[in-house]
Structure formats: structure tokens, C-alpha cells
Amino acid sequence: MKILVGIKRVVDYNVRIRVLSDGSGVDTDGVKMSVNPFDEIALEEALRIKEAGKADEVIVVSAGGDECQQQLRTGLAMGADRAIQIQTSTALQPLSVARAFLKIIEREEPGLVILGKQAIDDDNSQMGQMLAALWDRPQASFASQLALDGNTATVTREVDAGLETIEVDLPAVVTVDLRMNEPRFVKLPDIMKAKRKPLDVLPLDELGVTVEGNLNIGHHAPPPQRDKGIMVEDTAQLVQELKSRGLL
């Protein structure tokens, strides 16, 4: 069985985001870029499934310019067998990415697709659900545990009320949450080996995907500065402060 894992190139989560002075976007000049943390967890889970003997191959896929090959090589260094770059210079919206991934699925015929529940740059949390709908296969989102048994996957997912355990038939789409696992540390010998692993480049145009362009972001702005907190001496003063601010 093949497992397909989607990864996205994003600004590293440790970097303090800066908005460009004209509000046209985020300043990425000289900024460290990394694999989206949720996608890294998805890849770690796929590798553990393979190491348990329940999958034969793990393939990482990313959509973007040639710069995303750096993150694909990171995925290969973690242990993925192959990488596929959907080459495009256009910033794709979730539906377009889902359509592009569907074309890769039709080529590779994986038994399982694992994705991060969302990307930390746009926080859309849409692509996995859209892909499952387009593929017409079951989905299990926000997963914190995943167990495979033949053609069935048992997934524990995080919901508002706590945890929910469901079973889905494979092939299926699973999106993972932070509590799924702890990704492995990439060692230098693995980075060197990754350079020899296959990385296929497929131009988006050749996949026949319609690029959606119905969403335009007009302006970016940093969050407003928060007022400095105050210390109160007792409950009475706290209540008085809350009343004066119209909160009680």
C-alpha cells in the first residue's frame, strides 16, 4: 500500500511575522521557511505505519515553485521514499490544491492520504475535506490516533466535546492534529541520502487543473497592540475595574 502525504512550505513557526510596510503581504525576505508543523506530524505518522509493516511506500507531495523542493527533501530525509512537486508559480487556493492532489492520487492510487489539519500561514483547514469530497472517499479530520486493520482505519479525532472514535474504509483521507505524535529529528546522513532519492516535477498545466481565483486578499495588518495589564489588590478592586470597562 502507498501512503500519500501532503506538505506545505511555510514561514517557520519560531519566526516573528512581519507585515510589509505597504500592507501587501508578509515579509519573507531572509526568513526561515520550514515544513508546516501539522504536515510534519502527518509524515511522521505515515513513516510509523510503514515501519510497522502496514505500508510499502510513502510519497510526499507539495505544490509550489522550485523553492518547495527544500521541504520535499526534508520529507525525504525523514524517511519518505519519493517526492512529487506540483510546479506552479501561482499561489493556489485550497480547492485548486485539492484538484491537483486528486490528479496525483489518480496516478499513484494510494491506499491512504494523510495531511496536516491546517497550514499555519492561512489556517484554512479546508483542503483535506475538499480532497475527500472530490475523491469520493471517506475522511477523518483532526485525528489524534490512527490504527490500520486491513482495509479499515480506526481514527480517534478531537471534537468540541472531547474525543470521538470512528472507523473508515480505505482508501481515505485523514487530517492530523498536534497530539498525533512527535516528529523525528532529521540526521545529517539522512539529509545526504535524501539527495539521491527521486523527486519528480509535474507542471500544474500538464495536470489539467482549473486554478480558482475568486478570493483576493486586499490588505494585511499586524494585530493591534494590547493594553498593558494592571495588578489589583483585592476582589473589590477587580470588580470595580471590570465595571469601569463595561465588562460587568
What are the pLDDT digits (tens) for 131-140? 999 999 999 9
**Cell 490512527, located at residue:** 146
pLDDT band at 146 (very low <50, low <70, confident <90, very high): very high
Q: pLDDT at position 151, please?
A: 93
What is the pTM (predicted TM-score) of this model? 0.85
Phi then psi for 87, rounded to 5 degrees? -80, 125
How does pLDDT run across 149-201, given as a tens digit for each residue?
999 999 999 888 889 999 999 999 999 999 999 999 999 999 999 999 999 99
As a whole number of angstroms, the distance between CA 155 and CA 107 comes to: 26
Task: Name beta bridge partners: 64.
Answer: 87
What average pLDDT is seen over the chain? 92
Asked whether residue 247 is domain-assigned, the answer is no
- Domains in the chain: how many in total? 1
Asked whether residue 195 is domain-assigned, the answer is yes
Using a pLDDT cut of 90, give the percent of the chain over it.
69
Cell of 74: 526534508
**pLDDT over threshold 90, residue 19:** no
Q: Give the residue numbers spanning the domain of 211.
A: 2-217
**pLDDT over threshold 80, residue 209:** yes
Torsion angle, alpha carbons of 49, 57, 120, 128, to 10: -90
Section 127-149 average pLDDT: 95
Q: pLDDT at position 24, please?
A: 80
Asked whether residue 101 is domain-assigned, the answer is yes
Classified as helix, coil or strand, 77 is: helix
CATH number of the domain encompassing residue 162: 3.40.50.620
Asked whether residue 177 is domain-assigned, the answer is yes
Classified as helix, coil or strand, 69 is: helix
